[in-house]
Amino acid sequence: EAPALFRPDTIMEVTANYVEDVVAVSFRNITDAVHRATRLLDAYRELLAKSRLDDLTGVLNRSALFERIERVSAEISLPTAILFIDVDNFKTINDTHGHLVGDHVLRITAARLADLCNSNTVLGRIGGDEFVIAMFDDEEPLTTNEPEQLRRRLRRAARAPIDLNDSTLSIELSVGIAHNPGESTLE
């Protein structure tokens, strides 16, 4: 396949055959087929990405989260710690301000959590107002203090005011930490 020299925006399939000292070169316009295949591949990639991400927050959904944790565990090591995160009094936010504000709070919370994650963590939403962060060792093993430091940073980031149309709202997070001494599986 090659771009056509004298027909801009045209992709040509070039075929050469050699039979009994004769070379036959043929050209076929495949522009439409290439564009159809590109659109189909783009649609597939978009569908795949959407099937792996939580629609509301954009972080990994529950099944993709557990799959990613299992894959990283198999490739590198088991998680050193898993943080279970819950937005405190989220039902009250929905009841008081409405579900659109609740959705906004979840999107902002997910973005703040993601900002504090690095390449050694996996973040996902497991449902409702609950998130999970799995922490993995990099070159050096995590200290037992690192999950606690992350917990403090997460809670501090969550307290920053969230702008609503006519007011602001602050939230609190409950964050539980499950430490892995090295032999525990994800279950």
Q: Which of 86, 103, 115, 129 is catalytic?
A: 129
Looking from the CA of 16 toward its CB, the CA atoms found within 13 Å total: 5
CA atoms 55, 61, 107, 47: torsion sign: negative
Query: Which positions ≥6 away from 8 have C-beta within 8 Å?
Result: none
Q: Which of 107, 92, 137 is nearest to 119 (CA)?
A: 137
CA atoms of 33 and 39, how far apart (whole Å): 10
Angstrom distance (rounded) from CA 170 to CA 159: 5
Contact 112, 157 (CB under 8 A): yes
Q: Is 129 a catalytic residue?
A: yes
Q: 10 Å Cβ neighbour count for 64? A: 18
Active-site residue numbers?
A: 129
